[in-house]
Every structure is written in C-alpha cells, then in structure tokens.
Structure 1
C-alpha cells in the first residue's frame, strides 16, 4: 500500500511540474511585436523635422513695481506646535519640511546664520517638522517675505509656501 501511495505522489508531482509552462516566450513575442510596431511608426514618421519657432526677446525697462495679488496667494492650513522658537503668528513662511528633527535643526541653523528668525514647528498628523523662516500677523507681509525668500540661497528650489496656523 505504501508503494502505491509513494508512486501516486510522485506521479502527481511530475504531473504538476510538466503542467506549468514558462510564460517567458509569450512575453518575448509581445515585446518583439511592440518593437516591430515602434519601428514601423518611426519609418512612417516624416523624415524632416521643422525647427521650433522662437519668439524674440523684448527688453523692457523696470520702472514699474510688480505687485503680487495677496488675496489669491495659496495658504495651507495645518495644526502645528512650535518645537524650537518663540512662537508662530497667524501666517508663516515655510522653507523646508523634514521627517527627521535633526535635518530641520540643520536648516534652522543655516537660516539663523543668514539673519532669519527661524523656528521649527511639528505637524503630528503627518509626522513632519516644518522649518519656518519668518512669521507674520497679516497675509500681505507673509506673501512679500515668501516672494523674497524664493530663489534665495536659503531656498534655491523656490518652494517656500505659506502656512496658516490653526
């Protein structure tokens, strides 16, 4: 009886392994078909490309001051607590967000060396430390500060944004 059970189990294992065929050849066929279609599309495309049209640069004198529309400035509302600093007013300019407090402290020190009264605020709902370069009671002052910080050496990616503290 044991011989028949072992023989039956061996037969089942052999059948299971022979029943599974590799799908690699199917993937290869699809890839080759896609390559052929791509090649055909390249051959049908026009051989001559036109040069892009470039609008000439017109220089204008800088005798006018650009005024940012304060009412349309995007503001994020978050519930944050101050970790390092004297405290936040209603509107703050955030120049960095970090998941590690040490990274936020490094940026805070850099900003302080640059003359900013930088602070660190913590958003517990998303576990992020926000580095605040400056904080203001009114939105207009915060927008002006954000625009001044954007593109500076302290915010080269121009990603400073406004935070409204709940």
Structure 2
C-alpha cells in the first residue's frame, strides 16, 4: 500500500513540476522581437528628408532612410536599385524569407537585402528614381492596409 501511495505522489509531483516549466521558445521569441526593435531604432545616419513632387494637393515630406545594403546570399543583385520599398526588417532569416515568400505569392518580385548592422530588409520593389519608389510605396500601403502601413523607402548608399 505504501508503494502505491509513494508512486502516485511521485507521479503527481512529476506532472505538476513539468506543467510549470517555462517555455524557452516563448522567451526566445520575445527576446528576438525586442532585439529587432532595438536594432531597428538605432540609426547610424539620420534619415534624409525629401519632399514629394508638387501635385494637385500639397503632400507631406517623404522620409527616405539612407543606408548601404547588399543582397542576401542567393539573391539576384540586379533587382536592387537605388531607391527601394521595404515592407519588413528582421534579424531572423526565417522570418524574412517567410515574408518574402508571402509577397512573391502576391505577385511582387521581392528580394532580401542586408545592411551593415546585419538586419535583413524585405524589399518588394526597387527603382532608379525616388518618385517611382514613392508611388509604389503608396500603392503597397493602400493595397495591404493596414498590414504594411509602415512600409518605408530606402536609398541604397552606393
């Protein structure tokens, strides 16, 4: 009888201790997200202010972040031009590839680029002129609202 009681107490304690065990993956995910936000807010260079071309209604100044980027391993470097529309920035390559595949499924020619800080930028469109990039960014914002309302412009510091 004592053996049965001892075995059941051991089983109950084992179950109760294992159910309270912290999930390391949840902590890791939260840490990576915080790290991405921290790295994204650290700008080595101030963002340049450009004004949109005068249209029928006056527009607010367009912010273009200037940084040196190069294509990520396995990407086509010819698709990266001077001005690009960025919809995501990640430290984790798996997250960046996932968003890239999602955007390719939507018909975009997405490309992954990396900056000097090691952040992966998901670029959905790249242009030689700032005006084309602004128009593309605005179209992406309106098409995917509210998902990519924070899509931004990147000027490759060649």
Name the TM-score class by shorter chain: 0.5 to 0.7
Alpha-carbon displacement from aligned partner over 1:137-160 (angstroms, at most 9, x marks no partner) = 001110000001114338614010
Q: Within 1, Cα distance between the matches of 2:106 and 2:143? A: 11
Quote the residue 2:131 is aligned against.
Answer: 140
The alpha-carbon distance between structure 1 residues 155 and 95, as it changes in their structure 2 partners (threshold 3 A), is farther
Quote the residue 1:80 is aligned against.
Answer: 69
Q: Within 1, Cα distance between the matches of 2:86 and 2:148? A: 13
The alpha-carbon distance between structure 1 residues 156 and 102, as it changes in their structure 2 partners (threshold 3 A), is same
TM-score, reference length from structure 2: 0.57
The alpha-carbon distance between structure 1 residues 118 and 155, as it changes in their structure 2 partners (threshold 3 A), is farther
Q: Which one of 146, 152, 155 corresponds to residue 161 of structure 1?
A: 152
Structure 2: runs of 5 or more not aligned: 1-54
Structure 1: runs of 5 or more not aligned: 1-64
Offset at 1:107? Answer: 0.5
The alpha-carbon distance between structure 1 residues 97 and 81, as it changes in their structure 2 partners (threshold 3 A), is same
The alpha-carbon distance between structure 1 residues 117 and 154, as it changes in their structure 2 partners (threshold 3 A), is farther
The alpha-carbon distance between structure 1 residues 107 and 154, as it changes in their structure 2 partners (threshold 3 A), is farther
Cα RMSD over matched residues? 2.2
Give the structure with higher Rg (CA): 1
Quote the residue 1:90 is aligned against.
Answer: 82
SS at match of 1:74: strand
TM-score, reference length from structure 1: 0.54
Alpha-carbon displacement from aligned partner over 1:101-134 (angstroms, at most 9, x marks no partner) = 1111110001111110100000132x21000010
Offset at 1:73? Answer: 1.4
Aligned residues: 100
Q: Contact conserved, 2:87 with 2:148, CA < 8 A, in 1?
A: no
Q: Where do 1:15-34 residues align within 5 Å? A: none
